[in-house]
């Protein structure tokens, strides 16, 4: 699907030339401030013009030229915005995306896509009806740790994968007063970190046969799950996704075992910390990962393999290209719907105490075959 105005001039490759697309960012919490705003600013095909936030001073301190609007739906439907980026609390994703699509806007939604698959399917249908781009911000596809493990598997360094573990662990023993830990819709570690874990697993292995999950509240005063352990069943292959708020150290990011060897990726991609440290995307050293893979061969001998660099700028570069006429949506909505199917199956599995198959139609599954 092409989204560019057909009246625009074309370059030598037949792609529409367009001034930077105007972006409205809804929300200015951790995800928007740390990831979306700097990554959008790094893409010359986009310009961040408007931000919804209840804290105008916070926005202006970082983005002095942005307009701050106190009404998220006004931003979602503004005639002065081409692309709406939704980085507000999870329960607001669907209503804001619905309003933006009906107003003829292109939409990027931060993960998780929606609270459930019914909302996700509705948004996909609306995007098709209005011929608008709809994408979900699964930025961890462009992390150094994932790219390095993906390349090692593709290169056959461990042979056929039999066992795959992916961990995103934190050490936050104190429950904080924020919506992600409130116990409300879309809160908890599974909704927060699970989409990253699931999306990466699906990119490597496709859809599993079934999902078996355990969720727990481990910290004193916890109101939402802060521990998640999810098993994806691929027949002979087993994929474990794990997230916890009580891991001070010693937990590798990835562990992979195959019929020709094993690998371990100890540390996580550096881009989040670089952004927190004020390093601009694309600056010298951006995305460079000094923690290499540890590869074990059939004899148990270990060697190191350098990690590939990460670059989350590639997400918004692809968004800008798609808006300019290239059919390159970096995260098509059907892929995000598949992630939601695993998220939802895990919640149902934890509730019922048994494995649950992802609830996707034959047509929805066909995009993965």
In a domain, 14, yes or no: no
**For residue 52, is pLDDT > 90?**
yes
What does the pLDDT look like over 170-224, one tens digit per residue?
999 999 988 888 888 889 999 999 999 999 999 999 999 999 999 999 999 999 9
Task: Look at strands 237-244 and 293-296 and give their pairing.
Answer: unpaired
Do 251 and 145 meet the contact criterion of CB atoms below 8 Å apart? no
Counting Cα atoms < 13 Å in the Cβ hemisphere of 216 gives 12
- Structure tokens given for 96: 């804001």
Average pLDDT, rounded, for the chain: 94
Residue 11, pLDDT score? 52
% helix / strand / coil in the chain, to the nearest 5? 35, 20, 45
Residue 364 lies in a domain: no
The order of strands in the sheet holding 227-234 is 210-216, 227-234, 237-244, 161-169, 254-258, 262-265, 293-296, 302-305
* Confidence tier at 16 by pLDDT (50, 70, 90): low
CATH code of the domain covering residue 106:
3.40.50.720
Whether residues 177 and 133 share a domain: the answer is: no
Q: Are residues 116 and 187 in the same domain?
A: no
Looking at the domain assignment, is residue 218 inside a domain? yes
Query: Residue 143's pLDDT band (boundaries 50, 70, 90)?
Result: very high
Same-domain status, 206 and 274: yes
User: Is 162 in the same domain as 291?
Assistant: yes
Tell me if 279 is assigned to some domain.
Answer: yes
Per-residue confidence (pLDDT) for residue 180, from 0 to 100: 87
At 178 the pLDDT is 85
Decide if pLDDT at 87 tops 90: yes
**What is the end-to-end Cα distance of the chain in Å, rounded?**
20
Q: Please, where are the H alpha helices in 277-332?
A: 313-323
- Please report which confidence band the pLDDT of residue 37 belongs to, taking 50, 70 and 90 as the band edges: very high
Q: What angle do CA 255, 141, 311 make, to 5 degrees?
A: 110
* 78 and 222 belong to one structural domain: no
Q: Flag whether pLDDT at 8 surpasses 50.
A: no
Q: Same structural domain for residues 114 and 194?
A: no
Number of alpha carbons in the 13 Å side-chain half-sphere of residue 48: 27
Q: Which tokens go with 231?
A: 């098993």
Number of domains in the chain: 2
Task: Mention every residue, 6+ apart, whose C-beta is less than 8 A from residue 177.
Answer: none
Same domain, 150 and 103: no
Residue 361's SS3 state is coil
| 90 SS3 class | helix
Q: Is the bond preceding residue 112 a cis peptide, omega within 30 degrees?
A: yes
Q: What is the C-alpha to C-alpha distance for residues 118 and 98, in angstroms, rounded to an integer?
A: 13
What is the CATH classification number for the domain harbouring 269? Answer: 3.30.360.10
Is 357 inside any structural domain? no
Residue 206: which domain range? Answer: 144-309+343-352
Tens of pLDDT, residues 325-364:
888 899 999 999 999 999 999 999 999 999 999 999 988 8
Domain identity same for 169 and 258: yes
């Amino acid at each position: 699907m092409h989204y560019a105005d057909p009246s625009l001039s074309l370059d030598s490759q037949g792609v529409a030339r367009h001034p930077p697309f105007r972006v409205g960012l809804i929300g200015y919490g951790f995800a928007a401030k740390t990831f979306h705003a700097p990554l959008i600013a790094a893409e010359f095909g986009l310009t961040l013009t408007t931000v919804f936030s209840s804290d105008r001073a916070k926005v202006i301190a970082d983005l002095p030229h942005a307009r701050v609007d106190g009404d998220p739906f006004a931003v979602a439907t503004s005639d002065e915005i081409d692309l709406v980026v939704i980085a507000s609390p999870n329960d607001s994703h669907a209503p804001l995306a619905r309003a933006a699509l009906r107003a003829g806007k292109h939409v990027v939604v931060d993960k998780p896509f929606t609270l459930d698959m019914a909302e996700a399917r509705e948004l996909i249908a609306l995007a098709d009806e209005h011929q608008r781009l709809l994408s979900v911000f699964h930025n961890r596809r462009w992390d150094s740790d994932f790219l390095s493990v993906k390349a090692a598997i593709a290169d056959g360094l461990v042979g056929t994968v039999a066992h795959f573990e992916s961990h995103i662990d934190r050490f936050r023993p104190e429950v904080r007063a924020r919506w992600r830990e409130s116990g409300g819709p879309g809160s908890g570690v599974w909704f927060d970190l699970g989409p990253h874990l699931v999306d990466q697993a699906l990119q490597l292995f496709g859809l599993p046969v079934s999902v078996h999950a355990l969720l727990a509240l481990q910290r004193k005063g916890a109101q939402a799950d802060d521990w998640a352990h999810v098993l994806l069943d691929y027949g002979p292959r087993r994929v474990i996704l794990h997230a916890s708020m009580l891991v001070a150290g010693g937990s590798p990011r990835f562990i992979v075992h195959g019929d020709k060897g094993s690998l371990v990726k100890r540390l996580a991609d550096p881009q989040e910390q670089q952004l927190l440290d004020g390093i601009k995307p694309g600056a010298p050293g951006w995305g460079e990962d000094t923690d290499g893979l540890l590869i074990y061969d059939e004899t148990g001998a270990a060697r190191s393999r350098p990690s590939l660099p990460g670059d989350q700028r590639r997400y918004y570069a692809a968004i800008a290209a798609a808006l300019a006429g290239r059919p390159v949506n970096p995260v098509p909505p059907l892929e995000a719907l598949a992630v939601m199917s695993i998220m939802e199956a895990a919640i149902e599995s934890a509730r019922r105490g048994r494995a649950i198959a992802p609830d996707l139609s034959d047509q929805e599954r066909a995009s993965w075959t």
